[in-house]
Structure 1
Amino acid sequence: MARAQGARALMALAFETTYGTPPASGFTRMPFASTSLGAEQPLLNSELLGYGRDPLAPIKDAVTADGDVVVPLDAEAFGFWLKAAFGAPTTTGTEAPYTHEFQSGSWTLPSMSIETGMPEVPRYAMYSGCVLDQITWQMQRSGLLTATARLVAQGETVGTTTSAGTPAALGLKRFGHFNGAITRNGTALGNVVSAEITYANNLDRIETIRSDG
Structure 2
Amino acid sequence: MARAQGARALMAFAFETTYGQSPSSGYTKMPFATASLGAEQPLQASELLGYGRDPLAPQKDVVTADGTVVVPIDAHAFGMWLKAAYGAPTTTGSDPYTHVFESGNWILPSFSIETGLPEVPSYAIYAGCIVDKLSWSMARSGLLTASVDIVAQGEDLATSSSAGTLATVALQRFGHFNGSIKRNGVSIGNIVSAEIAYANNLDRVETIRSDGKIDGADPSIAAMTGKIDVRFADTTLLTQAVNGTSCALEFAYELASGESLTVSVPMVYLPRPRREITGPQGVQVSFDWQAAQQADGSAMVTVTLVNGVENY
When normalised by structure 2's length, the TM-score is 0.67
SS at structure 2 position matched to 1:24: coil
**Greater relative contact order (Cα 8 A, min sep 6): structure 1 or 2?**
1
Give the drift of 1:5. 1.6
The 5-angstrom pairing of residues 69-148 of structure 1 reads: 69-93=69-93, 95-148=94-147
State how far apart, in whole Å, the 2-side matches of 1:90 and 1:58 are.
Answer: 51
- Give per-residue Cα distances to partners, 1:57-116, cap 9 Å, x unaligned: 1100000000000000001110011001100000011x2111110101111000010000
* Counterpart position of 2:33: 33
Gaps of 5+ in 2: 213-312
State how far apart, in whole Å, the 2-side matches of 1:4 and 1:79 are.
Answer: 30
State how far apart, in whole Å, the 1-side matches of 2:112 and 2:128 are.
Answer: 6
Give the drift of 1:166. 1.4
Work out which of the two has the higher radius of gyration on C-alpha atoms and give 1 or 2.
Answer: 2
Q: Percent identity?
A: 73
Whose strand proportion is higher, 1 or 2?
2
Say if 2:172 is the partner of 1:161. no
- Give per-residue Cα distances to partners, 1:155-210, cap 9 Å, x unaligned: 00010000111110111111110011111343212221110000000101110111
SS at structure 2 position matched to 1:100: strand
SS at structure 1 position matched to 2:83: helix
State how far apart, in whole Å, the 1-side matches of 2:55 and 2:203 are.
Answer: 36
The 5-angstrom pairing of residues 6-21 of structure 1 reads: 6-21=6-21
State how far apart, in whole Å, the 2-side matches of 1:68 and 1:57 are.
Answer: 32
* Counterpart position of 1:191: 190
For 2:80, the aligned partner's letter is F
State how far apart, in whole Å, the 2-side matches of 1:2 and 1:64 are.
Answer: 29
* Counterpart position of 2:55: 55
State how far apart, in whole Å, the 1-side matches of 2:50 and 2:162 are.
Answer: 47
Give the drift of 1:52. 1.8
State how far apart, in whole Å, the 1-side matches of 2:139 and 2:145 are.
Answer: 11
Higher alpha-carbon deviation: 57-66 or 176-185: 176-185
State how far apart, in whole Å, the 1-side matches of 2:16 and 2:112 are.
Answer: 6
Gaps of 5+ in 1: none
State how far apart, in whole Å, the 2-side matches of 1:199 and 1:105 are.
Answer: 11
When normalised by structure 1's length, the TM-score is 0.97
